[in-house]
């Protein structure tokens, strides 16, 4: 499939992959782009921190944006349309206080406030999944809404054992690199890697809510990815250059979404 046929969220992730590939080939981390969205920025940040690398870009505005986001990690930005990166603490008991900047952004945006309960549910469930399954060292979330382009983007990223890795470890499954996407597919349909009789409905309910809001969802984990919107469910087998050591979940939701009753979509 030619790159121009990929959905935009996947293109944004592949932009990070190309940046990482060039870094591995040349030893210089560089990016030539006009702007990047959370789907690119989140994995780029973890790569920069693990590689102890500095990003070089000819675009001074982009450089300023990235540096600002990094320098203001975990800090609320009053009156802005974005939340700088929030690093999730290792202790889940500290999550609520850590996420206060994000709650502030949601509470103070008239466009997002229409479906405040939906956004809060998405944040809680997708972050809880990270703690329940990933065994992460680094995990981040961020949000930004774009008035002119008419959408909000939420991103969640961890550097943990991947969705397939969690199934393999806890459920004695045998997902290989070639069928990582099947593990993602099962997880999005309610399967859980926690064992016993439990069902993992948090992720599937989150996707149902995102679709009800007219949104797009991209999940990348290991060598697999799935893109979902209200009319499409497309899995991908990723090449080595595109695989992710961890899990990325990105949601892009229209700002003009009608108000929904989230309880219709909870399983």
Q: Which domain holds residue 134?
A: 80-264
Task: Please give the helix or strand (H or E) that residue 228 lies within, else none.
Answer: strand 224-229
Give the mean pLDDT of the chain. 88
The count of structural domains within the chain is: 1
Is residue 191 in a domain?
Answer: yes
Mean pLDDT computed over 59-72: 85
Sheet strands side by side (includes 216-222) = 82-87, 139-146, 151-158, 244-254, 216-222, 224-229, 232-237
pLDDT at 80: 65
Asked if the structure places residue 116 within a domain, the reply is: yes
Flag the least confident range among 94-103, 143-152, 258-267.
94-103
Best CA proximity match to 158, nearest among 249, 236, 242, 54: 249
Which pLDDT score, from 0 to 100, does residue 192 have? 67
pLDDT category of residue 178 using cuts at 50, 70 and 90: very high
Say if 158 falls within a structural domain.
yes
Confidence check: pLDDT of 240 > 80: yes
Residue 166 lies in a domain: yes
Tell me if 188 is assigned to some domain.
yes
The answer to whether residue 170 is domain-embedded is: yes
More confident residue, 121 or 99: 121
Looking at residue 71, what is its pLDDT? 80
Confidence class for position 77, pLDDT limits 50, 70, 90: low
The answer, yes or no, to whether residue 129 has pLDDT greater than 50, is yes
Beta pairing partners, 142: 155
pLDDT in the model for residue 114: 86
Average pLDDT over residues 221-233: 96
Between 198 and 155, name the one with better pLDDT.
155
Q: Which residue has the higher pLDDT, 136 or 74?
A: 136
Question: Per-residue pLDDT averaged across 161-169, rounded?
Answer: 94
Which percentage of the chain shows pLDDT scores above 90? 61
Cα 174 from Cα 194, distance rounded (Å): 15
Residue 66 lies in a domain: no
CATH number assigned to the domain comprising residue 190: 3.30.565.10
CB 41 within 8 A of CB 68: no
Identify the pLDDT of residue 65.
Answer: 85
Lowest mean pLDDT among 60-69, 100-109, 212-221, 257-266: 100-109
Q: What are phi and psi of 146, to 5 degrees?
A: -120, 100
Q: Does residue 23 sit within a domain?
A: no
Phi, psi torsion values for 70, nearest 5 degrees: -65, -45
Count other Cβ atoms within 10 Å, centred on residue 139: 23
**How much of the chain exceeds pLDDT 70, in percent?**
90
Residue 248 in contact with residue 42, Cβ under 8 Å? yes
């Amino acid at each position: 499939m030619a790159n121009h046929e990929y959905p935009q969220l996947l293109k944004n992730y592949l932009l990070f992959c190309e940046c990482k590939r060039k870094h591995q080939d040349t030893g210089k981390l560089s990016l030539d782009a006009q702007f990047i969205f959370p789907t690119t920025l989140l994995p780029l940040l973890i790569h920069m921190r693990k590689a102890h690398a500095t990003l070089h870009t000819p675009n001074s505005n982009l450089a300023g944006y990235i540096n600002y986001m990094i320098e203001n990690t975990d800090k609320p930005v009053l009156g802005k349309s974005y939340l700088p990166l929030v690093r999730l603490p290792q202790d889940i008991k500290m999550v609520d206080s850590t996420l206060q900047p994000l709650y502030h952004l949601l509470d103070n945006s008239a466009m997002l406030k229409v479906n405040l309960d939906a956004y809060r549910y998405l944040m809680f469930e997708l972050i809880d999944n990270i703690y329940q399954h990933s065994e992460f060292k680094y995990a981040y979330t961020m949000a930004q809404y774009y008035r002119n382009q008419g959408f909000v983007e939420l991103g969640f990223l961890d550097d943990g054992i991947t969705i397939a890795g969690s199934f393999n470890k806890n459920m004695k499954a045998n997902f290989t690199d070639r069928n990582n996407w099947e593990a993602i597919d099962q997880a999005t349909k309610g399967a859980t890697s926690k064992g016993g009789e439990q069902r993992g409905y948090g992720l599937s309910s989150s996707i149902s809510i995102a679709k009800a809001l007219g949104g797009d969802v991209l999940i990348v984990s290991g060598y697999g990815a799935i893109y979902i919107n209200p009319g499409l469910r497309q899995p991908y087998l990723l090449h080595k250059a595109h695989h992710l050591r961890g899990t990325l979940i990105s949601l892009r939701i229209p700002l003009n979404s009608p108000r929904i009753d989230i309880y219709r979509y909870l399983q």
